[in-house]
Structure 1
Amino acid sequence: MDIRYFIGVDVSKATLDWAVFDGKTIVLQAQSVNSPAAIRATVKLMKALPGFTVIESVGCLEHTGIYCAHLLSSLYKLKLPIWLESSLQIKKAGGLQRGKSDTIDAIRIAQYAFRFRDKMCLWHPPRPILQY
């Protein structure tokens, strides 16, 4: 799987902070409401990037429980590969860091995805029989 764009998403209850990393620089930063319509609009904004395709991208986000639900279902419907990672794993990989904001966290998640792309494990929804 050849990936050109690494999308870091910092998830909170009300908002999503997005950072798109191409391996050299952050090419897009955005903030959206945590709703399916806003997620689709943000992905549409990403598709305007030169050479951006869903197949050559991966969205990396921290597992935040129920707050991820809209994002996971929307990105899966848009066929964007999703990498759901433990927040502790991302924090430990970054070492000692100063400064914390949702925007900085999104950038760090995107850079984490690039750095550890060989350890990527894609998320798939549970089978329908397991959902209630």
Structure 2
Amino acid sequence: MKYKVFIGIDVSKLTIDVHLHGIGASKTFSNEEKGFALFLSWVKSIVNNQPAEMIICFEHTGMYSIKLATYLNDIGIPFAMLPALQIKQSIGIRRGKNDQIDAQRIAEYAWLHRETIQATLLPAKSILKLQSLLTLRNRLVCDRGGMKPHGKNRKRHWKEKSTRDISSL
């Protein structure tokens, strides 16, 4: 598909920073559904293109970007979730870094790769939920593995006479 509008978004925990390539417009919105709706109405006020003629690009940041991806998927607007390393390597070393600059660079990346960029297709919501649960499980397993050695040392330490009173707590 030939896209005409290239939008770069830097996704953070609380906000999304948006940049429209070629127009030079940038703005920040909240990283929640209300902010997404405001973002789309802002884009429509600037650009008169149909949603199918625009591509929204952002880095895949896990749980912070999945909300935006799900929202865009549900309303049928094409988007591309890109690996951060891919964008970083294509741009090269540059000075200066903040969320607005990152959004601008993502939009620039999308424009430069306009012939090959493809919209992301999200899996079914049940698969997304399973992926989220597996990620949580992996974190818990790692945390538990990190705590096991400390537990053995604590038991050994509490057997000493000077700390026996603490071990009864």
TM-score by length of 2: 0.72
| 1:68 corresponding residue in structure 2 | 65
Q: Does 1 or 2 have the higher relative contact order (CA < 8 Å, sep 6+)?
A: 1
Give me the identity figure in percent. 33
SS in 1 for 2:20: strand
Greater alpha carbon shift after TM alignment, 84-93 vs 41-50: 41-50
| 1:2 corresponding residue in structure 2 | 2
Q: Does the alignment pair 1:11 with 2:11?
A: yes
| 1:93 corresponding residue in structure 2 | 90
Shift of 1:79: 1.3
Q: Residue 20 of structure 2 contacts residue 26 of structure 2 at CA under 8 Å; is this kept in 1?
A: yes
Q: Does the alignment pair 1:29 with 2:16?
A: no
Which has more helix, going by share of residues? 2
Paired AA for residue 26 in structure 2? Q
Please tell me whether Structure 1 or Structure 2 has the larger radius of gyration of its CA atoms: 2
Q: Residue 8 of structure 1 contacts residue 19 of structure 1 at CA under 8 Å; is this kept in 2?
A: yes
Q: Residue 40 of structure 1 contacts residue 74 of structure 1 at CA under 8 Å; is this kept in 2?
A: no
- Residue deviations 1:81-105 (CA, integer Å, cap 9, x gap): 0111110000000011000000000
For the aligned residue pairs, the C-alpha RMSD in angstroms reads 1.4
- Residue deviations 1:47-85 (CA, integer Å, cap 9, x gap): 112422201000000010000122111111221101111
Q: Residue 87 of structure 2 contacts residue 109 of structure 2 at CA under 8 Å; is this kept in 1?
A: yes
- Distance in 1 between the 2:23 and 2:51 partners? 17
Unaligned runs of 5+ in 1: none
Q: Residue 26 of structure 1 contacts residue 107 of structure 1 at CA under 8 Å; is this kept in 2?
A: no
- Distance in 2 between the 1:19 and 1:130 partners? 31
TM-score by length of 1: 0.91
- Distance in 2 between the 1:78 and 1:129 partners? 18
Unaligned runs of 5+ in 2: 130-169
Q: Does the alignment pair 1:41 with 2:35?
A: no
Q: Residue 2 of structure 2 contacts residue 114 of structure 2 at CA under 8 Å; is this kept in 1?
A: no
